[in-house]
Amino acid sequence: MGKNILILKGSPREKGNSSVLADRLAAGAKAGGAKVESIYLHGLDIRACDACDLCEQGNGCVINDDMQDLYPKVEAADVIVLASPVYWFTFSAQMKLFIDRCYAYQANDWREMQGKKYALILTYGDSDLYTSGGINAISTFETMCRFLNAEIAGMVYGTMSDVGDAEKQPELIEQAYKLGQKLGVA
Ligand SMILES: Cc1cc2nc3c(=O)[nH]c(=O)nc-3n(C[C@H](O)[C@H](O)[C@H](O)COP(=O)(O)O)c2cc1C
């Protein structure tokens, strides 16, 4: 049966590079029968975790914003894909806000985020993972998955700057599509 895939897009550029790769991943997954939902985080009202720790009581996060619509989607997903540009040597703030708010699952030891697979799409302007700082986002992602005891299903990343650059990289486009195909039946 097709999987339920949730893609979180962390760029403000709706047609930007990480978004193009995420859409190719989505196309590959859909071709394999998966149900895919993509969320444009920049368009949502997601406030920063304020460390009130009320989530410790087990009733979720008390901040009443658009994250409330995302929690059920996170819980229902078989696969979660983080698609982000590198901003200042790590994830974009939009993506980090989303990640931080997953702290709300602490009462149940993050079980709601476990038992699923995770994938990463990362784009950056500089020439490699180190000079771009992309390595920091990858390290965060890997540490997060290790903490959650969750499987990393794949990563697609590369150098590109302007809107339209991703389309000029057929190998990465293909890689994203193939990862989607794999995730769709995973
Ligand atoms: C605010 C801002 C910060 C950025 N910081 C970095 C950076 O630290 N390292 C890097 O290699 N590229 C950086 N870039 C370039 C983007 O990562 C690059 O253009 C990427 O392809 C954008 O992805 P998108 O089209 O999905 O938005 C930055 C761009 C912006 C707008």
Output helix, strand, coil percentages for the chain, rounded to the nearest 5.
50, 20, 30
Counting Cα atoms < 13 Å in the Cβ hemisphere of 1 gives 2
Evaluate if residue 1 carries a pLDDT over 80: no
Nearest Cα neighbor of 134 from 118, 120, 147, 123 is 123
What is the percentage of the chain residues whose pLDDT exceeds 90? 97
- Tell me which residue has tokens 């709300």: 104
Out of 3.65.10.10, 3.40.50.620, 3.40.50.360, 1.10.540.10, which CATH number does the structure's domain 4-185 have? Answer: 3.40.50.360
Give all strands (DSSP E) within 92-147, no chain letters. 117-124
Q: What is the pTM of this model?
A: 0.98
In the chain, the amino acid numbered 138 is: I
Relative to the CA of 18, which ligand 1 atom is closest? 26
Q: What is the pLDDT of residues 96-138, one digit of tens each?
A: 999 999 999 999 999 999 999 999 999 999 999 999 999 999 9
**Residues in contact with ligand 1 (CB, 6 Å cut-off):** 11, 13, 16-19, 85-89, 123-126, 132-133, 160-161, 163
**Domain-by-domain residue ranges, the chain?**
4-185
Instruction: Characterize 24-36 residue by residue with b for buried, 16 or more Cβ atoms within 10 angstroms of its Cβ, and e for exposed.
Output: bbbbbbbebebbb
State which ligand 1 atom lies nearest to the alpha carbon of 124: 17
